[in-house]
Structure 1
Amino acid sequence: MTTHYSIDHLPGRTLAVDGQEYLFFSGTSYLGMAQNPVFQSLLQDGMMRYGTVFGSSRNGNLQLRIYEEAEQKLAAFARAEAALTLSSGMLAGQAVVNWLKEQGFGFLYGPNAHPAIWQEPTQRLPALSFDAWTRQLPDLVAAAPTPTVVIALNSLDALCSVAYSFSWVNQLPENQSVILLIDDSHGLGIIGPAGSGIGSQIPQRANVRLIVTASLAKAMGLPGGVILADPATLNAIRQTAFFGACSPIPPAYLYAFGQAQDLYRAAFSQLKTNIRQFENRVGDSGLFQHIPDYPVFYTEQDRLYSSLLTKQILIYSFAYPTPADKPNTRIVISALHRPEDIERLGDYLYEESS
């Protein structure tokens, strides 16, 4: 059974529990920006310039240039046409969904699609494997009752560390307009060329429009969300009451992001080094399901949580997304981990698998 802890500090590669230090292999701060001292310094500079929050609508009569400047850099980072930021990934997803619903488009949902892109609080999702679902998609799209159909799904399965192929996009009917709405919260910053995310992996079709949403609070270390799409789509979303009524992401964080491009590149490189070190240690243990070069290592052996806890190593293990769901147990590598941290974890896992 998972033990829940309450602490008064942000964990990095370690955390303190009841006066004892534990290695921390959990969370979603994959690039370690939340605990990066250089990034924290840039954030302090941003707060001196922009304060702690911009209490205004982005559509107000006073505009801060930092939003457009940062969005241009986010679009370049993600290799997208354009970007629009909001105060959370959930809000980014819902801003898109609400705009699409207003158009009267039909929706098809992928298995385990993130709640950020749900239409309803209790959205029904296919009880199929991803591969089985994609085999049905051409027929489902062809039978759609609306001239445009939205296919809403995740970029990958971060819970169980399973990659998704998007080759099925090439099999979609040519006479049907399709919008691919992809939540890339667990991909942006760590998958794709230089961490650019899922966009470059999607086949381009004349009848398929791509909209990517993502939380920036994971790999990117920013308390906000982003929509990546073509400028016309983003301009239309920006004109909605839903967007106009939203408070924006604090500008100090976008300032820090703009100044930290070299920092992100270095953290991405370090993360890949750490992942490969751990892959080499556990590659043939049979304990984990894992996407190559991805920081999440999923296991069905829930006992690893309590076993590693006795070694003062805390990993991810709790019911998700609701308390009624089965516990999800996984090890998460970050850019903050040191080689000796990974070796220590690997030694204990070797004992477990022997």
Structure 2
Amino acid sequence: MNEIFEINHLPNRVIEHNGQEYLFFSGTAYLGLPQNPAFQQITRDALGRYGTVFGSSRNGNLRLTIYEVAESKLAAWVMGNVPNATSLTLSSGMMAGQVIVNWLRGQATTFMYAPKSHPALWYDPNVTLPSLSFPEWVNQLPDQLRNTSSGHVAILVNSLDAVASAYYNFDWVRSLPEDRPITLIVDDSHGLGVLNEGRGIWPEIRQKLDAVGSSVRLLITASLAKAMGLPGGVVFGDSATLQSLRQTAFFGACSPMPPAYLEAYCHADTLYTEGYKRLMQNILLAEKLLLPSGIFQHSEGYPVFFTERDDLYQKLLNHQILIYSFAYPTAADRANTRIVISAFHTSEDIKRLADFVNTYCS
């Protein structure tokens, strides 16, 4: 097990540990919003108006309009002009997945999981995921659907393999059968803010379903605590379904995400645009400098560079560069090693990283 770094400040491009500075290439703050002084100031202003939390149910008789304002803004950005499309925020990405799963469990639903589906989508902590590659699972899905008794089916999948930096092909959704009700639930925690000019996986999948007139119900969940820099989660879907979710005890009894952060989101359009632009520039530079080493698995335009060379972690650490390398999602899983690029990195940071990577690989 690698050394645990315990620090007492927000991770930024540089972290301090035991009196030494390290360049930091890990975490999920892809757009660098938590580290952005302007975003911090917007958030401080919003905290002055709304405080740290809203200690009430969203279904209570006193309601804060900022939730509906921000949810409408999120829906318009991600989903465009789709009729009856909306979003619903919750306290975390985990809660966003669980509110759907708990709702579906009361509807005699058969759950079908893709490989590596995030625990936020699990209906049982001991659920067994397919030990297949994603393409292999896609090939077997039609037979699995045919061999399942009639009734409602929920297909649960991540939008991509963020750990291994691998995009998923969703062309298969065009061929989902129309002779039974199907709900497709996609966890887009690592895609929202990054994929499809920041809109995440929704427009890509929705376009494929619409092209064949599919009646499949699409629900997208995401943590807002990654690229979006907000402590909360969100569900995107049709208004009727989200209204049903809102009426569940699971939603009504949970604390909502802090309203100040939604207020900050509503006033940060320019910062999100600038962060996305910087991230894309940094990824281009990293692709140019890191990929010639030949040791990385990487999807073009994505901020993660995965390698099976686990000893890269210690090699870089010896030069005061800290990268991601730990077991995930459980301590029993194999440690994985990857470099994560963020909008807060400078070109000099990336060049320094690449110099040591290429020296190690030469």
With the length of structure 2 as denominator, give the TM-score of the two structures.
Answer: 0.96
Cα distance in 1 for partners of 2:150, 2:67 equals: 36
Counterpart-to-counterpart distance in 1, 2:165 and 2:123: 25
Q: Does the 8 Å CA contact 2:70/2:263 hold for their aligned counterparts?
A: yes
**Match of residue 201, structure 2, among 166, 178, 198:** 198
Q: Residue 58 of structure 1 aligns to a residue in which SS?
A: coil
Report deviation, 1:143. 2.5
1:52 counterpart letter in structure 2: T
Q: 2:319 aligns with which of 311, 321, 327?
A: 311
Q: Which residue of 1 aligns with 2:266?
A: 258
1:144–1:207: structure 2 CA closer, same or farther, 3 Å change rule? farther
Please list the CA deviations of residues 150-202 of structure 1 after superposition, one character each: whole Å capped at 9, or x if unmatched.
1001000011111100001112223232110000001000011x210001111
Deviation at 1:77, TM superposition (A): 2.2
Task: Name the CA distance, whole Å, in 2 between partners of 1:164 and 1:176.
Answer: 25
AA of the residue aligned to 1:265: T
Q: Of 85, 100, 113, which residue of structure 2 is paired with 1:96? A: 100
SS of 2:101 mapped into structure 1: helix
Task: Report the equivalent of 1:46.
Answer: 46
- Say whether the 8 Å CA contact 1:23–1:314 is kept in structure 2: yes
1:199 maps to a residue whose letter is W
Q: Which runs of 5+ in 2 are unaligned?
A: none
Superposition pairs of residues 171-250 of structure 1, within 5 angstroms: 171-192=175-196, 194-202=197-205, 203-204=208-209, 205-250=213-258
SS in 2 for 1:4: coil
- For residues 298-335 of structure 1, give each alpha carbon's deviation from its aligned partner in whole angstroms, at most 9, with x where no partner exists: 00000010000011000000111111211110000000
C-alpha contact (below 8 Å) 1:142/1:173 kept by paired residues: no
Q: Percent identity?
A: 56
Aligned partner of residue 3 in structure 1, secondary structure: coil
Aligned to 2:23: 23
Cα distance in 2 for residues equivalent to 1:283 and 1:79? 34
- SS for the counterpart of 1:182 is strand
| 2:110 partner amino acid | G
For structure 1, the residue ranges without an aligned partner over 5 or more in a row are none
Report what 1:324 is aligned to.
332
**Residue of structure 1 equivalent to 2:61:** 61
Mapped pair 1:352 → 2:356:
no
Letter in 1 for 2:275: A
Q: Which amino acid aligns with 1:93?
A: G
Q: Output one character per residue of 1:203-237: Cα deviation in whole Å (capped at 9) or x when no partner.
A: 11422110000100000011000000010010000
- Which residue does 1:157 correspond to in 2? 161
1:70 is aligned to 2:74: no
Is contact 1:142–1:176 with CA below 8 Å preserved after alignment?
Answer: no
Contact 2:72 2:87 in 1 (8 A): yes
Q: How far does residue 138 in structure 1 lie from its aligned partner after superposition?
A: 1.5
Aligned length in residues: 353
Q: Per-residue CA shift, 1:56-83, capped at 9, x if unaligned?
A: 0000001100000000111122126210
Contact 1:29 1:221 in 2 (8 A): yes
How far did residue 140 of structure 1 move? 1.4
> Per the alignment, in what secondary structure is the counterpart of residue 87 of structure 2?
strand
Equivalent in the alignment of 2:173: 169
More deviation, 262-271/136-145:
136-145
Q: TM-score when scaled to structure 1?
A: 0.98
Q: Does 1:131 align with 2:135?
A: yes
Distance 1:308 1:350 in 2: 11
Q: Which residue of structure 1 aligns with residue 120 of structure 2?
A: 116
In structure 1, distance between residues paired with 2:290 and 2:358: 8
Superposition misfits of 4+ residues, deviation over 6 angstroms: none
**Contact 2:67–2:259 under 8 Å retained in 1:** yes
User: Which segment drifts farther, 139-148 or 56-65?
Assistant: 139-148
1:8-32 deviations in Å (ceiling 9; x for gaps)? 1111111011111110000011111
Aligned residue for 2:34, secondary structure, equals helix
